[in-house]
Amino acid sequence: MSEVDKVLSRLANAVAGALDSMKPVELNQKATEEGRFLSLDCEQTDSKWKGLLEQYLTTDSTFEIHSWNEEADCIELALRYGELKVDDWSYGKKITGKVTPEFAGMLLKLPKPTDTELYNKMTPFFNLMLDSGFSSSHYGTEVYLSARAEM
């Protein structure tokens, strides 16, 4: 057996031993009761994202949207429904406002973005948060829901 083969064999044994000793992490019951995280990156359409969002839009009162500086169209669209939040985030803009029927309608009628090279976008907004616990990040590919959501 060559020296390389010996090293590979020892490495394979070490990896196998490490894998055998692994145990699943205990589920944090409190975090489970408080909410859920969903990855929507593999969804073909935005219907699941919009369905979850719709549940919150009917009862929430405020929103916050984050968009990168180069996403001028998204910033302009969000500013039709809210105001610029003054802060020190130099890479983008944050817009806050009231959840109105017009704002909700705009979100639910937006087509699924087609620029999906980096993210399988559900929305053109990088982050969208509602006051009661709906949090959509990375263009809707990651969603955190407070426990009140019906799923």
pLDDT of residue 26: 47
Q: Which pLDDT tens digits describe the chain residue by residue (151 residues)? A: 888 888 778 877 776 766 666 555 444 444 444 578 889 988 999 999 999 999 899 889 999 999 999 999 999 999 999 999 999 999 999 999 999 999 999 999 999 999 988 889 999 999 999 998 899 999 999 999 876 544 3
Residue 21: predicted pLDDT: 62
Predicted confidence at residue 22, as pLDDT, reads: 58
Structure confidence at residue 23 (pLDDT) = 56
C-alpha 16/C-alpha 132 separation (Å) is: 45
Neighbours of 43 (CB within 10 A): 16
pLDDT of residue 18: 63
Domain that holds residue 96: 36-146
**pLDDT score of 24:** 53
Residue 136 lies in a domain: yes
Length of the chain, please?
151
Q: For residue 19, tell me if it sits in a domain.
A: no
Give the number of domains in the chain. 1
Euclidean distance between CA atoms 122 and 51, whole angstroms: 12
Residue 53 belongs to some domain of the structure? yes
Within-domain flag for 28:
no
pLDDT, residue 2, reads: 87
Is residue 135 in some structural domain?
A: yes
Rg of the Cα trace of the chain?
21
pTM metric for this prediction = 0.73
Instruction: Measure the CA–CA gap between 15 and 8, rounded to whole angstroms.
Output: 10
Q: Is residue 18 part of a domain?
A: no
Asked whether residue 11 is domain-assigned, the answer is no
Q: How far apart are CA 108 and CA 95, in angstroms?
A: 18
